[in-house]
Structure 1
Amino acid sequence: MPANKAQAKTPSLECRSLSKRYGANRTVIDRLDLKLAAGEFVAIMGDSGVGKSTLLNLIAGLDRADSGDVLIDGTPISTLDDDAATRLRRQKLGFVFQAFHVLPHLTLAQNVALPLLLNGIAPQRAHDMLMAVGLEGRDNDMPRQLSGGELQRVAIARALVHRPTLILADEPTGNLDPDTAHEVLALLREETRANGAATMMVTHSEAAAAFADRVLVLSDGKLHHAEISHALRPSHE
């Protein structure tokens, strides 16, 4: 073995001194630093209005920081024009939302295949992803035939189907009952690791955050480490 250390892997996500202000006197994100590694599942908590959605929008390139930068797979998004930023979102990001955003006029397979089609990739992997999330044989079903938990499984399959670098999940279990939420979060964590994606989940729920590898609280524009009660941790951990 050579004496020098192997070069560290590039983080899937890195925020460097990220800041965002609204008006002259309201700093929402203040010189925030964050790194997420491939396969890591991180929960972001915080009071309503503290800036969690702003942070997601900055990471997704939907909003511009006043200073600092976001790097996705080592690419600083501040250097990209609008077209390049759109391509990066299509190729590198996957999104899971509280409201599912499954298109009602498309079959499950067609919904899951959308990121593949947008990236010019053949849609066959959609079938495999539906199987992976427990919806084998449901390719031609319509969204109206599914429960809320099943719809969220479709959303997870769609977010992961193009093998993104980073998953952004915004309150993904907010519309689900506790038992279904438990199943969906276990699936999201399992698929995150299996696909080598990093996942950032914004949630108000400590029970949901307990599925994460790390829990951070956004307060005063910065992220702080938090501990979740051991009683809330999934029973197998």
Structure 2
Amino acid sequence: MLELRQLNKSYASGHPVLRELSYTFRAGEFVAIMGDSGVGKSTLLNLIAGLDHPDPGPAAPILVDGIAMASLDDDAATRLRRERMGFIFQAFHVLPHLTLLQNVALPLLLNGLPQERASQMLAAVGLGGRDHDYPHQLSGGEMQRVAIARALVHRPALVLADEPTGNLDPETAQAVLQLLRAEISASGACTIMVTHSQAAAAMADRTVILTRAGLQEAPHVKRFAQ
């Protein structure tokens, strides 16, 4: 589903952050990426999404469903993100001037899809009957639920989550993670979650550690009892 081939990325200063990174993520699996601060975890998500560009190197360092991200112009990359990807951010990025229904329906609207599923997704994340509420009426955990509903409403093939529980208390974080896992299991999306939390990583199918030497399996992370 997602393949990295000798991916390199340096900061503007010229300091390398990712070197010769190669890895394959399979369709339908939930993978957690852990690693020290500054090692490039969020940078990697931005590169996968086409929001940032790798250093010159192999012709196709990032392939999404066999499509080389480097071969796409800005418009084509935007279309691919809009149609094939869903994003969950630590800071939620729920739009304050839109209702919950409008927030969740946004990917459907942009993709020209029927809007009915937005209300169904709000119900699925435990916010049924609150379609016309606004984000300022929600707790942090509820806003993250809206973000999950929005990320999954258009049935993306790839979900990218950057520290999705970083702003939540442990109890709320666990509930949000259980919800995320249930929803991606139902949709069959490949999900990549960057996290510093062992508890969050334990919800994934497998965990990999990003180091300067690349991505390495982390079999020691205790799995969540499903």
TM-score interval, normalised by the smaller of the two chains = over 0.9
Note the C-alpha offset of 1:189: 1.1
1:206 matched to which residue of 2?
Answer: 198
Deviations 1:158-214 (A, max 9, x none): 000111111110100001110110011111111111111111101111111111111
State which of 99, 119, 126 in structure 2 corresponds to 1:107: 99
1:129 matched to which residue of 2?
Answer: 121
Note the C-alpha offset of 1:147: 1.3
Deviations 1:109-133 (A, max 9, x none): 1000011111121211101111111
Amino acid at match of 2:35: G
Distance in 2 separating the partners of 1:184 and 1:228: 23
State which of 45, 49, 53 in structure 1 corresponds to 2:42: 53
Query: Counterpart of 1:38 in 2: which secondary structure?
Result: coil
Q: Structure 2: give runs of 5+ residues left out of the alignment.
A: none
Deviations 1:20-60 (A, max 9, x none): 12368632111112222222110111111111111111101
Q: Is residue 21–residue 27 contact of structure 1 (8 Å, CA) maintained in 2?
A: yes
Amino acid at match of 2:161: A
Q: Is residue 42–residue 213 contact of structure 1 (8 Å, CA) maintained in 2?
A: yes
Deviations 1:86-144 (A, max 9, x none): 11111111100111111111111100001111112121110111111111111111111
Query: Counterpart of 1:131 in 2: which secondary structure?
Result: helix
Q: Is residue 39–residue 194 contact of structure 1 (8 Å, CA) maintained in 2?
A: no
Q: Is residue 42–residue 215 contact of structure 1 (8 Å, CA) maintained in 2?
A: yes
TM-score normalized by the length of structure 2: 0.94
Query: Counterpart of 1:19 in 2: which secondary structure?
Result: strand
State which of 129, 133, 145 in structure 2 corresponds to 1:141: 133
1:18 matched to which residue of 2?
Answer: 7
Count of equivalent residues: 223
Alignment of 1:148-227 (within 5 A): 148-227=140-219
Which stretch of the first structure deviates more once superposed, 80-89 or 16-25? 16-25
- What RMSD in Å do the two structures reach over aligned CA positions? 1.5
Question: Are residues 25 and 81 of structure 1, via their aligned partners in 2, closer, same or farther at CA, if it must alter by over 3 Å?
Answer: closer
Distance in 1 separating the partners of 2:221 and 2:151: 29
2:19 matched to which residue of 1?
Answer: 30
1:7 matched to which residue of 2?
Answer: none
2:30 matched to which residue of 1?
Answer: 41
